[in-house]
Amino acid sequence: MANKVLSRIDSASGCEVDKILLRDFTSSFRCGYVVAEGGVTMPHGYVDVCDKIAQFSLRDDDIFVASFPKSGTTWTQEMVWLLGHNFDYEKAKEFLPARFPFLEVQVIYDPIDVIKTMGSSLYESVDYANSIKSPRYIKTHLPWQLLPTDMTKADTKAKIIYVWRNVKDCLISYYHHCILLEGYKGNFDNFYKMFLANKVGYAPFWAHVLGFWKRRDQENILFLRYEDMKADLPSVIRRVASFLGKPCSEEQLLKLADHLSFENMKKNPAVNYEPVCEMNKKLGLINAEGSFMRSGTVGGYKTYLTQEQIGEIDKWTEKCLEGTGFSP
């Protein structure tokens, strides 16, 4: 096994947050958690595929969209895919994960028997991503050190577009996402504790962002900010088009920006993940109401977090970023 998994999280550790994690965030398809390289918390299913991910062979024309969960990933994927496919809106009616697979989605569903009930090769995700024709467009939430080994080589031509989001808004969105799609059954206060203790999937948050930010000057990496996309989407589309080497006329740009509006994305069955939510309910994996695309606002945390929590996150952020030169 590649040296990616360090230990299993055990409630016998005496750590309150570990106990909360294993009590409130395990289910019929999430048997536990492990600590991976870099202190990253991952669902236990990662153990079964970490070698396959590490050994995943990249192609020169691969395009990855990477992020911490709930940072604008789906939004960015749809933008990138349409730019890369000459604005083929008809083909874009196909379910996004089929045309832009989530590399490690099978990590979320554990054990493997659950994956087999899904009835789709999409959930045997590493094999699926390996099988599709070039150019491949691939999504991942993995931090830098857990990416396929090929990605870390100096001569890698595969491109990565990384998008990050204000940590407070990301926290709120991730909480709702985990209830809807990942079987979290606890309350917000406990999720908040786990997030700041780096005990939710893919955490630590700031280490995740910094892993890509430190490499932002590499020719094959583009570093984006969710709030910039909200403030001036056409400008970001131009940056992405230039990065991908895909010409984009003003007319094409405006049509794409309209297609990517929150209102249009939310009602688009190819990207709003309603089919996944319905399947999870049908299989008895999740019994929660809500929508994958909930609000998409900037600063929504101000009506959700207490002033004490906001202050605590600010101090935690300052400590995590001390000496890095990164300004959120």
Predicted local confidence at residue 263, as pLDDT: 85
Q: Considering the domain boundaries, does residue 238 fall inside one?
A: yes
Distance CA 32, CA 55 (A): 24
CATH number of the CATH domain containing 247: 3.40.50.300
Distance CA 173, CA 20 (A): 20
Residues in the chain: 328
Q: Considering the domain boundaries, does residue 182 fall inside one?
A: yes
Predicted local confidence at residue 1, as pLDDT: 43
Considering its fold, how many domains does the chain have in total?
A: 1
Q: Considering the domain boundaries, does residue 326 fall inside one?
A: no
Q: Considering the domain boundaries, does residue 12 fall inside one?
A: yes
**Residues carrying an active site annotation:** 141
115-118 long-range Cβ contacts below 8 angstroms, 24+ apart? 117/283, 118/279, 118/283
Q: Considering the domain boundaries, does residue 39 fall inside one?
A: yes
> What are the helix (H) ranges across 96-221?
96-99, 112-117, 125-131, 167-181, 188-196, 205-213
Strand partners, 33: 43
Domain that holds residue 309: 5-321
The tens digit of pLDDT for each residue in 270-283 reads: 886 666 656 655 55
Query: Low-confidence residues of the chain, pLDDT below 50?
Result: 1, 291-292
Q: Considering the domain boundaries, does residue 184 fall inside one?
A: yes
Predicted local confidence at residue 288, as pLDDT: 55
Residue (of 140, 148, 137) closest to 67 by Cα position:
140
Predicted local confidence at residue 180, as pLDDT: 82
Is the pTM higher than 0.85? The answer reads: yes
Cis omega (within 30 of 0) for bond into 269 = no
Q: Count Cα neighbours of 262 within 13 Å in the Cβ-side half-sphere.
A: 13
Q: Considering the domain boundaries, does residue 296 fall inside one?
A: yes
Q: Considering the domain boundaries, does residue 295 fall inside one?
A: yes
Residue by residue, DSSP assigns 7-30 as EE--GGG--HHHHHHHHHS-BTTB
Q: How far is CA 42 from CA 113, 149, 159, 215, 230, in A?
A: 19, 18, 24, 23, 30
